[in-house]
Amino acid sequence: MGVSMGTARAWVERWERQQERYAVDREERFTVIADVVEHVTAGRARPLLLDLGCGPGSLAARLAARFPHAEIVAADMDPLLLELGRTHHADAARYVDTVIGEEGWTEALALERPLDAAVSTTALHYLPEPALLRTYRSLASLLRPGGVLVNGDHFPPDAAPCADLTAHVGRRRAERTGGRTPEDWRSWWDAAARDPELADLLDERGRRRAVHAGNGGDEQVTVSRHAELLRRAGFAHAAPVWQFGDSTVLVAVMDGAPAARDRVGA
C-alpha cells in the first residue's frame, strides 16, 4: 500500500496549505513548541521526542530540522497520513501505527528509554475526557523527571460567553496571515479519494474509522480542565505558554530534575 515519492510530496504540500485554515499562526505555534523542546533538552546529546497524532509528519519534520540529533517517534492511527509521512519525511522520524488513548497503545512505540518531551498539535481534541486522562497517565509514565508534554491546539476559554470571541479573533488572524487557501480539510480528503494511487490506503482508513467510530470528536475541553486532568495524571505543573485567540500551546511538566548521567559529557 505504499505511494511514490512524487505522490507523497504533492499530497503533503496540499495538506500543509489546507491546514493553514485551521491552526492560527501555525508556523509560530510550531516554533513555540520547538522553543519549549529546546529549553527542556538543552545539553542532551540525543533527546527522545514523541509526536502524538503526527499525521503526515508536519511537526516531526520541523523538529527534525531544528534538532538534527534528536530521536523522534511519530505516532498516529491514520494509515494514509502515516504512509505520506513515511515517504515524504522518511528521515524525520520513526513512524508508529497505534491508536492513542486505547489500552496498551504505548507498547507499539517500543521506547527503550524515557522521553524528554511529548508533543502534539491539533490532534488530541478528539479524545473524550476518560481517554484523555488515560493518555496523560501513559505519557507521565513515559517521560523522564523534568520532561514535558507540549500540546498546541484550539482550547475554548473557561468563560463560555467568550468562546465565540476567541474563535472569531483567531479566524480573523488566519485571514490576515494568509489562511485563505481554497482547499479545506473535507475537500482535501475528497480529492484524495479520487487518486487511484491512494485507493488501498483509503480503504484501510475507512475500515479503521468504522471500528473506532465511537472514539469521540471535537470535545471542546478547556485549558483549565486539561490542566486539572494533567495534574491528576501525575504532572507537577501545567500552564499555557502562548496563545492567540483560542489557539494555545499548553505545557505540562513532570516533577524532578533531569538525571545528570543523561547530560552531554556526563
Any idea what the CATH number is for the domain that residue 94 is in? 3.40.50.150
Q: Do the domain assignments include residue 105?
A: no
Q: Do the domain assignments include residue 131?
A: yes
Q: Do the domain assignments include residue 199?
A: yes
Residue 161 has pLDDT above 80, yes or no: no
Give the Cα separation of 215 and 127 in Å (integer). Answer: 7
What pLDDT does residue 244 have?
Answer: 86
Q: Do the domain assignments include residue 106?
A: no
Q: Do the domain assignments include residue 177?
A: yes
- Pair type for strands 143-154 and 115-121: parallel
Q: Do the domain assignments include residue 263?
A: no
Q: Using one digit for the tens of pLDDT, what is the confidence trace for 105-115?
A: 999 999 999 99
Give the Cα separation of 266 and 262 in Å (integer). Answer: 7
Q: Do the domain assignments include residue 71?
A: yes
Residue 60: which of 102, 149, 121, 125 has the closest Cα? 121
What pLDDT does residue 265 have?
Answer: 35
Q: Which residue carries 508556523 as its cell?
A: 27
Cβ atoms of 75 and 138 closer than 8 Å:
no
Residue 169 has pLDDT above 90, yes or no: no
The pTM for the full model equals: 0.90
Domain count, the chain: 1
Domain that holds residue 78: 5-100+112-258
Q: Do the domain assignments include residue 178?
A: yes
Q: Using one digit for the tens of pLDDT, what is the confidence trace for 186-206?
A: 999 999 999 999 999 999 999
Q: Using one digit for the tens of pLDDT, what is the confidence trace for 48-105?
A: 999 999 999 999 999 999 999 999 999 999 999 999 999 999 999 999 999 999 989 9
Give the Cα separation of 71 and 224 in Å (integer). Answer: 31
Angle of helix 5-19 relative to helix 185-192, nearest 10 degrees, comes to 160
Mean pLDDT of 5-14: 98
Give the Cα separation of 107 and 146 in Å (integer). Answer: 22
Mean pLDDT of 12-35: 91
Q: How far is CA 33 from the centre of its chain?
A: 10
